[in-house]
Structure 1
């Protein structure tokens, strides 16, 4: 039999948009997600709530804050927004919102559900970055090579941490370890100052992502910032994932790139002053299309041309692996401005 708490979480998920409109009123719907700044209802785009979905981590009502790594369900959001002293108060509020009869059975004296600890501040990000080392000869290099990413030297925006702490989630199995090697990426502002880091935990035996529930997490201050490859210029490309943007670098080494790390943060990346034409490496999903639409709204009054770079598969790294650099270059060339084609592309 379904527990009362799980049943309430499921029912809230069935009414996810109404819950978000009430408790996260400073956000807005974008595609299949409700976007807001954080769990405290600040304006912004860091926290996203799934409005549709099936079961498990992809269920409607599940949310993630891309800036902090926090995640949970709509019961957590109600508890945070109402500042309840115990779980019984939160469940009562959820029943009231759903117009369900009250029930005190099994809820007396329940403590609040523990809030997931924040993954770290900008200061913690600086410490982790300082403790990491260049990727030459490390597992990170082997991982990137396994993704057909071999060009670009040591990529100063990337480092390797040989034993990076991994905070186990409820979705992780008993075999998950407390630490794994990790690719650590520097998140910087327009002036190049470190504001956060992004971690990708790796399997030391297979040079792939570690077999954990959440192999990617960020920490620090991410909004408006990104992982940068190359100096800012008049022509640049923004995208979500690090591997996606490095796939573009394989065929366009002269093109400055910024990885936003999520669709929400991609849409919020700040524009460098010299920027005049922006390519957006879109993911083939609703969130990717929504991020492009938001960037188009932001660039229009600034006179910045914006063009999408769409993959044939789900993202450009999948294209690179399936097609090879020459065919990927041909696909991208067909989508680029004629002035940038010969100047930027080089699939050698």
Structure 2
């Protein structure tokens, strides 16, 4: 008879198939399955790791809910989605699932290795190497249209004139396979590129007219798009444009974009960090990420200071208010000692 650990490992080997069965309201994005919660509500707050990262930072089948702070494994997913009251029922359901033959939707537990398969850190580094500096490109024009002017030569950003776009089931028929794209590098604690974030652009202006104009790939959990080296005082936010908007008025403050509320909640704290400004979006997922970061920071004696936008996010604030009013509002959100040190209108 297989032990509970044996069953959990077998479920992890078939993590995507488990998610398709028990978290059917979600979808795969890169290495993760995103859904609303462990009870299969629609949304993107909960993320399940579908494959290992090649180091000890995460295992397949582990999940975290950025809004509630819950976390667990795939046995917990089965228990919650089926409404089980005891472990015996959950193990029985898991055994029934594992005895089923593989379906067309499920990938084999041990697929043959491919050279730099799509979505891996190696593929992300390859795309990053093929991209160019953003100055004078469509990416710089796109950012300027969002009120962002300081990012033209930022080393964390590049531009690709013809970046592959994989159509999803939500795209209209005939969507193009390539678009220009702004590329942001996701780096680990040592500054190595482990992933990228892509924003596909319309040559006529704005984002490309596709279902999902923003996607990330590579090793994301715990990491993010970094602007300046880590220090005692930093800011962290969800989106690249949120962080770039803050850097318009706080250019000397080190910042990191987690790329989603779930990933923001899971960013790794640098050893030097003592105060973290959290620029969360004005929604339930943003509040959940803030709560998780506060809980994680307590035992490390890191002060967490919320930065709450007036609108849905800080890029909306910058566009609606203009730089001067945006800076004035930010001054009221910062600690007094940081205003003179970082704020520049």
Same fold (TM over 0.5): yes
TM-score range, shorter chain: 0.7 to 0.9
Closer/same/farther in 2, CA of residues 178 and 336 from structure 1, 3 Å limit: same
Counterpart position of 1:138: 137
TM-score where L is the length of structure 1: 0.72
Q: Secondary structure at the match of 2:201?
A: strand
- The answer to whether the Cα contact below 8 Å between 2:24 and 2:40 also exists between their aligned partners in 1 is no
Counterpart position of 2:89: none
Q: Report the Cα offset of residue 35 of structure 1.
A: 2.3
- Listed as ranges, the gaps of 5+ residues in structure 1 are 1-11, 17-23, 49-77, 88-111
Q: How does 1:229-308 map to 2 (within 5 A)?
A: 229-308=227-306
Counterpart position of 1:9: none
Provide the rounded CA distance (Å) in 1 between the counterparts of 2:228 and 2:343: 15
Provide the rounded CA distance (Å) in 1 between the counterparts of 2:305 and 2:99: 44
Counterpart position of 1:170: 169
Closer/same/farther in 2, CA of residues 319 and 15 from structure 1, 3 Å limit: closer
Q: Report the Cα offset of residue 29 of structure 1.
A: 7.6
Q: Secondary structure at the match of 1:133?
A: coil
- The answer to whether the Cα contact below 8 Å between 1:166 and 1:178 also exists between their aligned partners in 2 is yes
Counterpart position of 1:328: 326
Closer/same/farther in 2, CA of residues 333 and 316 from structure 1, 3 Å limit: same
Counterpart position of 1:194: 193
Structure 2 residue 37 is the aligned partner of structure 1 residue 35:
no
- Listed as ranges, the gaps of 5+ residues in structure 2 are 1-21, 27-33, 52-59, 68-93, 112-116
- The answer to whether the Cα contact below 8 Å between 2:224 and 2:267 also exists between their aligned partners in 1 is yes
Q: Report the Cα offset of residue 316 of structure 1.
A: 0.2
TM-score where L is the length of structure 2: 0.72
Q: Secondary structure at the match of 2:299?
A: helix
Aligned partner (choices 79, 101, 106) of residue 85 of structure 1: 101
What's the RMSD between the two structures over aligned residues?
3.2
Q: Report the Cα offset of residue 331 of structure 1.
A: 1.3
